[in-house]
Amino acid sequence: MTSDAKANNPPPSRAYAWYVVILCMIAYIFSFVDRQILALLIGPIRKDLDITDTQFSLLHGLAFSLFYATMGLPIARLADRQSRPLIISAGVFLWSLATVATGLGKNFAHIFLARMGVGVGEAALSPAAYSMIADLFPKEKLGRALAVYSIGTFIGGGLAYLIGGAVVGLVGDVESMALPIVGEIRTWQIVFFAVGLPGILLAIIFTFTVHDRARGRQKSNSATLAEVFAFIRGNRAFFVAHYGGFTLCALALFGLMSWTPAYLTRVHHLTTAQTGLILGLILLVSNVGGVLASGFLTDHFERAGRKDASMRAGLVGAMCLVPPIALFSSAPNLAIALPLIALAFFFASFPLATSAAAMQIVSPPSMRAQISAIFLFFNSFIGLALGGTVIAMTTDYVFRNDAMVGASVSLIGGLAAIGAALLLRGGLKPFAAMPHMT
């Protein structure tokens, strides 16, 4: 970069860099509240729509991930060339409106279309946020910054359970109520209004308080799609291990997040409000702790001189996930099941920051968002849509018993964690051998 370019793009202050991270984290919180709230409401939604677990998984997984995955890459190409804060703001606004639209849904098709809208909006967030954060922090501090951003996943998921459970608890046995303009709606629909509307304010704040001067490169320097795929092919040993291993980790994580509410209500006979409180606290403690632990572990490995730091931290999480996810469903009582679930959530959260750090470290700045979007395509389409549906189909067609949903999570999630550990182990050397860009 020339001296004139440096003068036009001065290094961001530490305070501003962390302000951007915190605001991105808040957006991530909103995104996961809007994304995850559906899982808690499986009981009343199944009842009102008269659908099976497999059909519900299509609403929770496929409807969202179909457009989240496919729109991620074109939006990421914009993020490598245009204003990343503006792209994030537009995404937050869109998914917030789509969440409200979910609450207006009257049948399976209406809700399916609304969840597709949530997916389109949320596709704008992570590729742009990863790229922007990587421009704001040096490599030795990137793991921690991305960990702070990534805890938004589980603060959002925890709040989704807590808010959803609280709203359902407040209205008690009231099945429906009349609202001005909207008319009569079911209790579960109110929850979507409560979590969707605040996102519109966040979109406005992002628009007017975040700039993109930290990009430090000209918009015209964005890599072409052909160049991106050429880079991936040239480093295929790393990308197969990274994309494959962390996608399997995501499958295990999303399986836990999607189906442990059903496990607790069906097997241990908890109410929706009780389930929301318990899982909300677990996500806020175990998952947030797991993400932060993985970020600090990555930075520890980095300071120790390990060039495979972020991949190694992800490997630790995948290996430690296997025992608790495989065993929780066979626990004889709730007192034993809950600590195992908490441990499973803790280690399942390790890959969020570590996967992002590994991608940003080895990706040229001109293609960071696009490489992230390709990863998120596999992560959401296979990890969320396919994984959640496979778990549901295992319950519906293999065990043929709704009460066996925990066993389905243990089986599919346990196999995914083992596969993830093997792939990530194989990716350590290729990752260490690549040039580190950050």
Residue-wise pLDDT for 41-85, tens only, equals: 777 888 888 888 888 888 877 888 878 878 888 888 887 778 899
Q: Which two tokens stand for residue 82?
A: 């245009």
Q: Which are the contacts of 277, defined by CB distance < 8 A and separation ≥ 6?
A: 161, 162, 165
- pLDDT score of 387 more than 70: yes
Residue 127 · residue 68 · CB < 8 Å: no
In this prediction the pTM is: 0.76
Average pLDDT over residues 191-210: 89
Q: Which residue has the higher pLDDT, 401 or 373?
A: 401
**Which CATH superfamily includes the segment(s) 3-212+223-433?**
MFS general substrate transporter like domains (1.20.1250.20)
Report the chain's mean pLDDT, rounded to a whole number.
86
Q: How far apart are CA 56 and CA 119, in angstroms?
A: 16
Q: How far apart are CA 152 and CA 220, in angstroms?
A: 32
Residue 167 · residue 277 · CB < 8 Å: no
- pLDDT number for residue 7: 47
Q: List 185's β-bridge partners, or say none.
A: 177
Q: List 184's β-bridge partners, or say none.
A: 178
- pLDDT number for residue 327: 97
What's the pLDDT band for 2 if we cut at 50, 70, 90? very low
**Three-state secondary structure of the chain:** CCHHHHHHCCCCCHHHHHHHHHHHHHHHHHHHHHHHHHHHCHHHHHHHHCCCHHHHHHHHHHHHHHHHHHHHHHHHHHHCCCCHHHHHHHHHHHHHHHHHHHHHCCCHHHHHHHHHHHHHHHCCHHHHHHHHHHHHCCHHHHHHHHHHHHCHHHHHHHHHHHHHHHHHHHHCCCCEEEECCCEEEEHHHHHHHHHHCHHHHHHHHHHHHCCCHHHCCCHHHCCCHHHHHHHHHHCHHHHHHHHHHHHHHHHHHHHHHHHHHHHHHHHCCCCHHHHHHHHHHHHHHHHHHHHHHHHHHHHHHHHCCCCCHHHHHHHHHHHHHHHHHHHHHHCCCHHHHHHHHHHHHHHHCHHHHHHHHHHHHHCCHHHHHHHHHHHHHHHHHHHHHHHHHHHHHHHHHHHCCHHHHHHHHHHHHHHHHHHHHHHHHHCHHHHHHCCCCC
Q: Which are the contacts of 302, defined by CB distance < 8 A and separation ≥ 6?
A: 139, 140, 143, 309, 310
Average pLDDT over residues 164-187: 68
What's the pLDDT band for 215 if we cut at 50, 70, 90? low
Per mean pLDDT, which of 7-16, 76-85, 118-127, 237-246 is the most reliable? 237-246
| Sign of CA pseudo-dihedral 335, 337, 341, 344 | positive
Residue 309 · residue 140 · CB < 8 Å: no
- pLDDT score of 15 more than 50: yes
- pLDDT score of 181 more than 50: yes
Q: Which are the contacts of 311, defined by CB distance < 8 A and separation ≥ 6?
A: 241, 242, 354, 358, 424, 427, 428, 431
Share above pLDDT 90 across residues of the chain, in percent, rounded to a whole number: 39
Which range, of 88-102, 158-172, 409-423, averages the lowest pLDDT?
Answer: 158-172
What's the pLDDT band for 172 if we cut at 50, 70, 90? low
What's the pLDDT band for 10 if we cut at 50, 70, 90? low
Alpha-carbon torsion, ordered 268, 272, 277, 281, to 10 deg: 70
How many angstroms separate the first and last alpha carbons of the chain?
Answer: 15
Encode pLDDT of 313-350 as tens digits.
999 999 999 999 999 999 999 999 999 999 999 999 99
- pLDDT number for residue 8: 53
Encode pLDDT of 252-262 as tens digits.
998 998 899 99
Encode pLDDT of 105-115 as tens digits.
888 888 999 99
Residue spans per domain, the chain: 3-212+223-433
Which range, of 93-107, 134-148, 169-183, averages the lowest pLDDT?
Answer: 169-183
Encode pLDDT of 138-161 as tens digits.
877 887 888 888 888 778 888 888
How far, in Å, are 239, 291, 374, 380 from residue 70 at the CA level? 19, 27, 9, 10
- pLDDT number for residue 247: 94
Which range, of 13-17, 169-173, 282-286, 320-324, averages the lowest pLDDT?
Answer: 169-173
- pLDDT number for residue 171: 58
- pLDDT number for residue 338: 97
Chain centroid to CA 202: 19
Q: Is 216 left (phi over 0), alpha (psi -120 to 50) or beta?
A: left
